[in-house]
Each structure stands twice: as structure tokens, then as C-alpha cells.
Amino acid sequence: MRLVVVLGYSAWRGAGLHPVCEARVAAAAELASEEDAVLLSGRPESELMREAWPGGPDRVLCDDGARITAETAVHVARLARELGVDEVVAVTSWWHCRRTGVLFRRALSGTGIAVRTVGAPRWSGRLLLREAAAYAVLPLHMRRARV
């Protein structure tokens, strides 16, 4: 069994789903099969992503407890062990794949669960700068989330 995880994204403007997050949901919907479990992660995006999800709600879970990627990795590791999955596929933006992979692999270390990241389109130079800044605080986030 596979767990497909869609990481949320929000610029904290407006009430709707951010276009970056929409692209991630669309990429995950194309990737996920009926046998997969799907986790929509992020606060406040998870419920907005659920509303936008084109598949059946019976296989979709929401995690609204994670505010940063490191927290998502910890939540995913716990859920992956509970569900007995063989593989975790993290769907995020291409510019976020590297950091996501580092965090998920660290959280799932020793479990035997494979981790793969899939990058959805949509980007800007500003988002690349944001990601670079996130790398600077990665050790702090890892300690905070206990990854």
C-alpha cells in the first residue's frame, strides 16, 4: 500500500486555495490510484484541498496539525507506520522537493518505507528565495518537530 501526501501551501492571503496548492492537488490526483491512501497536509490548507480533491472522500485523510514541512514529516511517519504502507509519495512543488525528501527520509529512517517526491509545476523567483531561507532554518525546524 502507498501513502500519497499532498503538502499544503499558503501565502496567507485570501480565503481560497492558493494556485501553488491547487497544482499540487491536481498532480496528486493524477498520481493516486484507488488502492492508495491520500493525506492532505497543512493548516489551514488541508480542508480547502479536500474540497478541491476530485476523488472519493473515503480514501482521503486531512492533517491540519502541521504548519511546517518538518511537522508534516513527523505526522506522515506516524501514519505510514499505522497504515503499514510500503511507500510514501510526497507531492509538493519542484522547488520544495529536495527539502521535503530530506525531512521525510529522516522521519522514516529505519522503517523500510520508501520515500519518493513528486514536483508539481508552478513557481516564481520569490518562491525560490523563500525555499533558500527555509534551508537556513532547517536544523531549527527539525529540532522543533523532533525529526
- Is the pTM value of this prediction over 0.75? yes
For the cut 80, the answer to whether the pLDDT of residue 123 exceeds it is no
Is residue 117 within a helix (H) or strand (E), and if so which, with residue range? strand 114-120
For the cut 70, the answer to whether the pLDDT of residue 122 exceeds it is no
Share of the chain above pLDDT 90, in %: 63
Q: What residues make up the domain containing 95?
A: 2-145
Q: b vs e for 20-58, b when ≥16 Cβ sit within 10 Å of the residue's Cβ?
A: bbbbbbbbbbebbeeebbbbbbbbebbebbbebbeeeee
For the cut 80, the answer to whether the pLDDT of residue 59 exceeds it is yes
For residue 133, the domain's CATH number is 3.40.50.620
Tally of domains within the chain: 1
| pLDDT tens string 89-118 | 999 998 889 999 999 999 999 999 999 999
Nearest to 107 by CA among 146, 66, 63, 65: 146
| pLDDT tens string 10-30 | 876 667 898 889 999 999 999
